[in-house]
Amino acid sequence: MIDAPVLERVLTEALRHGGEFAEVFAEDRSTSSAVLDDGRVEELSSGRERGAGIRVVSGETTGFAHTADLTEGGLLRAAEAASAVARGGGTGIVAVGPLVATAVQERGSDGAATPSLGSKADTLELLRRADDAARGSGDSISQVQAGCGASRRRVLVANSEGLLARDQQARTRFSVSCVAVGDTGLQTGFETAARTMGFELFDEVSVEELALLAAGRALSKLSARPAPSGELPVVLAGGSGGILFHEACGHGLEADHIAKDASVYTGMVGQQVASPLVTLVDDGTVGSEWGTFAIDDEGRPAKRNVLIDRGVLTDYLWDYLRARKEGRSSSGNGRRQTYQHLPMVRMTNTFLLAGDEDADEIVAQTPRGVYVAKLGGGQVNTTTGDFVFGTTEAYLIEGGKITEPLRDANLIGNGPEVLKRVDAVASDFAMTPGTCGKDGQSVPVGCGQATLRVTGVTIGGTAE
């Protein structure tokens, strides 16, 4: 997108009035999306966005400017604007470069075909197939919405320390939402598949199966009973509970929260913070999962980072600047939504490692409790670890068997306490895609775990 000599001149301009670090992040993103709502095409769009963000750091001050003008003149003007903001804490002129390309292999540049965004005709065909499958699952299905989104993103990162890195990322997401009508009113079901790849996703994923899962969830809740209330053992199905650990534990391990003393995990490295059955990993290199990439948005290689090892807290997640202040290397977790945003510490694919127990045996060894097949959204207070999450598919466990479906309810608890209460972990590991929001920015992430049991979580149901 931008030649190395131009980048060097822009970085030099960024530091000309003082500063210790400057960075250019350039992005070229193509997107397409389509929505089929009750058989009608409600959205069919495509677009392209290009631009660059320039960051200048001087002491504790960061200046940032972005521009859609990728000419040398446009970049120089943005560099001057960012420099003006950071100028107050100047430390003298810093030499730039020379820029040296990193050895990181761009995803998709290894000789394989360029990932496809899919044609509009192919996309609409997939949506109609999903709509037909969902409606064919039962007469009670009254509404179906199917959506497909794809993006292809090229990024370039260069900084005043000589780094020059590039990556190419393709992502495709398909989702189905269903509404069923019965004596208990309207009930909903949802399912999604998302990977860091092009339309090759549909060589691996059946849209009909996604539709049947979504419709099945809605239909099962027509006969659901109110969820119990109070503290009960909870069994989380493989892949379903990863979002809980992402929110309730992962955010508290991000270094910006640690630096502000806004995390329950501050100062606890080396201490036992979870059950010995718990090993929590953040890994941006996992196959084609939703949070996978070659480099983060500061140009650092994606890494596998073990955060909790058999219950012991071993490390936090780091972006480049916070890591530099601590005299250590980045963990590859500096991420941003677009070129218009500053990077911050973010998770990638965050998951609990599988155990060696049988998932069915974990249920069989639970006399009474709740089996959560799918969690919905939630929120967490990183300072205390307290959380609330909704269930979107759950069942009662009675006598070691999964019995009646339950209406949607809340799981209420504390992240560190839940980690300590994990007493069984199965081998059926699975991942689910998600979108993580933080400080107004959203990025794709993966979450995962095997079937596991928590000895006690408060259920916010309505049953007496």
Type of residue found at 72: E
How many CA atoms, within 13 angstroms, populate the side-chain half-sphere of residue 117? 18
395 compared with 98, residue with greater pLDDT:
395
At 102 the pLDDT is: 62
Nearest residue to 305 via CA among 271, 334, 280, 277: 280
pTM listed for this prediction? 0.93
- Report the chain's mean pLDDT, rounded to a whole number: 92
* DSSP string computed for 375-387: EEEEEE-TTT-EE
Q: Which helix (H) or strand (E) holds 253?
A: none
Nearest residue to 376 via CA among 408, 414, 350: 408
Does the pLDDT at position 14 exceed 60? yes
| Residue 169 structure tokens | 């990322």
- Distance (Å) of CA 240 to CA 11, 89, 159, 195, 448: 45, 47, 40, 17, 7
Strands (E), 185-320: 185-195, 229-236, 280-283, 304-309, 312-313
- Distance (Å) of CA 398 to CA 232, 369, 395, 405: 12, 7, 10, 12
Task: Report all structural domains of the chain as residue ranges with CATH numbers, in order of start.
Answer: 120-152+167-222 (3.30.2290.10), 229-460 (no CATH)
Neighbours of 367 (CB within 10 A): 10
Mean pLDDT across 122-143: 97
At 185 the pLDDT is: 85
pLDDT single digits (tens) 80-112: 999 998 886 544 445 565 666 664 444 443 434
Helix axes 207-220, 120-135, angle to 10 degrees: 30
* DSSP string computed for 142-207: EEEEEEEEEEEEEEEEEETTSEEEEEEEEEEEEEEEEEEEETTEEEEEEEEEEESSSTTHHHH--H
Look up residue 114 and give its DSSP letter.
Answer: P
> For the chain, what is the total number of helices (H) and then of strands (E)?
10, 22
Residue 441 gets the label, from left (phi > 0), alpha (psi -120 to 50) or beta, of beta
- H-type helices in 102-144, by residue range? 120-135
Largest CA-CA distance found in the chain, in angstroms, rounded = 73
pLDDT single digits (tens) 308-345: 999 999 999 999 989 999 999 999 999 999 999 999 99
Mean pLDDT across 360-380: 94
At 112 the pLDDT is: 42
pLDDT single digits (tens) 145-194: 999 999 999 999 999 999 999 999 999 999 999 999 998 789 999 999 99
pLDDT single digits (tens) 205-252: 999 999 999 999 999 999 999 999 999 999 999 998 888 889 888 999
Beta-sheet strand order (sheet of 280-283): 312-313, 304-309, 280-283, 349-352, 441-449, 430-438
**Total residue count of the chain as it appears in this document:** 464
Look up residue 318 and give its DSSP letter.
Answer: -
